[in-house]
Homo-oligomer: A and B are copies of this chain.
Amino acid sequence: MSLKPSISKGTKDYLPDDLGKRDYLKKILRETFEIFGFLPIETPSFERSETLIGKYGEDGDRLIFKILNSGDKLKKADIESFNEEDMGRFSNSLSEKALRYDLTVPLARFVSQHRNEISFPFRRYQMQNVWRADRPQKGRFQEFLQCDVDILGNRSIIQEVEIILMCEHIFSRLNLKNISINLNHRKILEGIAILIGAKDKFLKLTSSLDKLEKIGKDGVIKELRTYRFSKKSIDSLTPFIDLKGNFKSKIDFLSSRLKEIEVANEGLDELSSIHDKITKYKLNSISVNFDITLARGLDYYTGLILEVLPTKNEFDFGSIAGGGRYDNLTDFFGLKETSGFGISFGFDRICLILEKLELFPKDLLKSSKIMFVNFDDHITEDCLQKIVKLREKDIPCEIYPTKSKLKKQLDYANQRKIPFVVMIGPDEFSKKEFIIKNMETGTQSVFKTINLIDEIMKLI
């Protein structure tokens, strides 16, 4: 009895065509990261559970894939907790390690662990898969590639400026125009929370504000009411939700409203200074905006918060990159005062956009450039000798492995998108000639075998 072949839901196979495109995007990201002075690191796919659990909030923790203990360790299963229906404890007793949920916590662990082997400021990029036990949705997978760039060990806002310039560089190379980079600052949000008298409900405030796009102003207000924000709080918040205008005018409005609140002023100064620096560059692909509702849900940001998305969002998803400044991420692991700034690119979403806008170059598939037709064992041996020579010249080529019918062999070349086919039948062989067939046009040309390498080099 045979098994119906299928994959686990929320995962995906990549065929050669897909990988041609993904490699193109990977290459551009990797090259840009390196041009900006970032170096690669890689961390293990699974980490000790205590490294990951408790860093992503309750919702995040639930989505971490745990690895089941094996052997004798499985005997330590806490059956009592199962009987008490305490599934959290039961599950912890069955597992000691878990799959990477993002690249940020592993980075914090890495930097703390290798602090004496690396030099600060530490500029690193990392392109590795992460896993989340999310309910699978269209375009959302349980395994996906994250591409993160971070600088740790320095507070200068040059980092923020550089990362924004890097976005311009990447999207220009991808020919992707109309990309919005929305900025906000944690300290401005804190200032607003203080002003409206809701300092103790800061996280509830920001998580509601973050949903403005999705649930609208009324939705936000309704949610704040359920969180027991006072009418007065909500009324004083309204002008901030309604805030319109360009970057400068928003800064001016906030500066006047929040002028008494020191933390807000710090945030406004920094944000305005970053914006001033950025405006000195000619930006073709990105525009930089100030979005006072942006919070990005993550509690560990302490300064600038940033989100990247297509301006005309005809795609069914939000941001294609996001990041921010964090001051205390390595504290967990005993490394203090290591402020960092980073951005994470959503690889799959960028792929989807390039696909939809037809921005992938043609011919990304690295198929053989030449296929030799297989006519006869004797001739085949001779062809293989020539193939070896072509390969020494880095020309991808192959021979059809069996003497199948010509049509079948040519069909294979077609399906594989091989542009040229070399035919040496017994006739050609005796005349020391060969035929090259252009698979796109169908035209055939005859040459002397002695010139085979040269003629093929001319074609490719």
Q: Which residues of A contact B (CB under 8 A)?
A: 2-8, 11-16, 19, 23, 31, 34-37, 39-48, 50-51, 62, 65-68, 70-71, 74-75, 77, 79, 82, 85, 87, 90-91, 94-97, 99, 109-110, 112-114, 117-121, 123-124, 129, 131, 133, 143, 151, 154-156, 158-159, 161-162, 165, 169, 277, 280-281, 331-335, 365-368, 371, 380-381, 384-385, 388, 391-392, 394-399, 401-402, 411-412, 415-416
Contact call A156/B48, Cβ cutoff below 8 A: no
Within the complex, the shortest CB–CB distance from A92 to chain B, in Å, comes to: 10
Inside 8 A of A392's CB, which chain B residues have their CB? 169
Contact call B42/A19, Cβ cutoff below 8 A: yes
- Residue among A37, A82, A119 with the most chain B CB within 10 A? A37
Within the complex, the shortest CB–CB distance from A332 to chain B, in Å, comes to: 6
Contact call A68/B95, Cβ cutoff below 8 A: yes
Within the complex, the shortest CB–CB distance from A95 to chain B, in Å, comes to: 5
Partner of A51, one of B3, B39, B151, B391: B3
Within the complex, the shortest CB–CB distance from A236 to chain B, in Å, comes to: 37
How many Å lie between the Cα of A154 and that of B412 in the bound state?
13
How many Å lie between the Cα of A97 and that of B411 in the bound state?
38
Contact call B401/A5, Cβ cutoff below 8 A: no
Inside 8 A of A12's CB, which chain B residues have their CB? 44
Q: A50-B3, A74-B87, A158-B384 are in contact. Are A35 and B394 (CB under 8 A)?
A: yes
Contact call A380/B87, Cβ cutoff below 8 A: no
How many Å lie between the Cα of A385 and that of B165 in the bound state?
11
Chain B residue nearest to A153 (CB atoms) is B401
Inside 8 A of A37's CB, which chain B residues have their CB? 367-368, 371, 396-398
Q: A6-B48, A113-B5, A114-B15 are in contact. Are A66 and B70 (CB under 8 A)?
A: yes
Q: A156-B402, A402-B154 are in contact. Are A16 and B41 (CB under 8 A)?
A: yes
Contact call B11/A46, Cβ cutoff below 8 A: yes
How many Å lie between the Cα of A62 and that of B74 in the bound state?
13
Given pairs A13-B41, A74-B90, 8 additional interface contacts (CB within 8 A): A6-B113, A7-B44, A13-B44, A35-B395, A37-B367, A37-B398, A65-B70, A79-B79
Within the complex, the shortest CB–CB distance from A116 to chain B, in Å, comes to: 11
Partner of A16, one of B40, B67, B121, B398: B40
Within the complex, the shortest CB–CB distance from A71 to chain B, in Å, comes to: 8
Q: A42-B19, A90-B77, A133-B70 are in contact. Are A48 and B398 (CB under 8 A)?
A: no
Partner of A8, one of B46, B161, B391, B399: B46
Contact call B133/A398, Cβ cutoff below 8 A: no
Within the complex, the shortest CB–CB distance from A118 to chain B, in Å, comes to: 7
Contact call A401/B151, Cβ cutoff below 8 A: yes
Q: A91-B68, A133-B70 are in contact. Are A169 and B391 (CB under 8 A)?
A: yes
